[in-house]
Structure formats: C-alpha cells, structure tokens
Amino acid sequence: MSDIHTRNLQPSDLDALHQIVSDWQVVRQLGSWPWPPDRDFTASRCKPYAGDGFVWGIFDGQELLGTMGVTEGDLGYCFKPDAWGRGIATKMGRKAVEKAFENPGLTRITASAWHDNPASDRVLEKLSFSLLSEKVQHALARDEPTLCYKYLLTRVHWDGLRSRGEWTIAAAE
C-alpha cells in the first residue's frame, strides 16, 4: 500500500471509473449510481467536486482503485473488487474523516451501507462510526426498496479518540 494516493478526479479518469461502475458487484452497493451504467453520468463525476466537501480518486500508482469523499457531511466510497479486503477503504477513510473535520463548521459525518454489505459496515466500525438508524429506502441501481443502515461519527467523539491516541492513520494499517 505504499503508493496508494489520492487526487481529484478529472476527465481522463472516465474510462477507468466507468469500468469500475460497470461492475454490478460495485454498483449494487452504491446509493446514487444508475444501472445499467451510464457513461454520461460517469463523465459528470470525473471532475473536482463543486459542493461542500470533496471526492478523491484513490490510486495505486496510475491505477484507479476507486473513489472516496465526504460530500455535504456524508462519507461515501466505492472500490473495484480487486481492491476489496486490502485495508484501503479504512486507511483512506481515516484520511477522509481528518480532511472533512478540517472544516470547523462540520460537527458530524454520516455514512450509509445497505443491509447486505457487511464489509462496508466493518469499515465504518473501524472508522469509529456508530449505528444511528435503519430504514428502508429506494436503491437506485437495484430499483427496489432496500434496508439501509445509517451511521454517525461526531466531531466530539472523533476529538476524544484523537486526544487518547486512538485515532491515527497508522491504526488503519
């Protein structure tokens, strides 16, 4: 994981990102991506995020592994299957939380995972998110009502972890 790094997405990432979101295993776990894949939609995401927050491309050298960001106070991510289980989501999630909490006005970060995505639940638990609620909502790619778990990490809790030395990037590795 020594060459894993982040940068803003750009138009030249279209082919690599579209390949990732053309994998049903990936898209079925996302909240806002369409199925079947739509290249124009993917192209609309291949630029720096213009709202409150950020979205990074996560790269291993020149290879796009996935994306991660905190937008409007909500953590979201997706990775291609051969990046799963390598600790990348946890490590980059810690960096994303730190980056998001650089905004002094942000007091909480939320995140969501579908009920059948235990790997994402585990990432959020490692990032010290707590389960906030469960509700059925429409899953765009699945086109059906799906149970969703909503998670919360408050600045107060995060500050407490940091002050006790329990929050470091190294802890994710």
Sheet strands (E) in 37-100: 53-60, 63-71, 74-79
Tell me: the pLDDT tens digits for 28-74?
A: 999 999 999 999 999 999 999 999 999 999 999 999 999 999 999 99
Q: Going from the N-terminus, what domains does the chain have, and what CATH number goes with each?
A: 4-172 (3.40.630.30)
Contact 40, 47 (CB under 8 A): no
pLDDT above 90 for 88 = yes
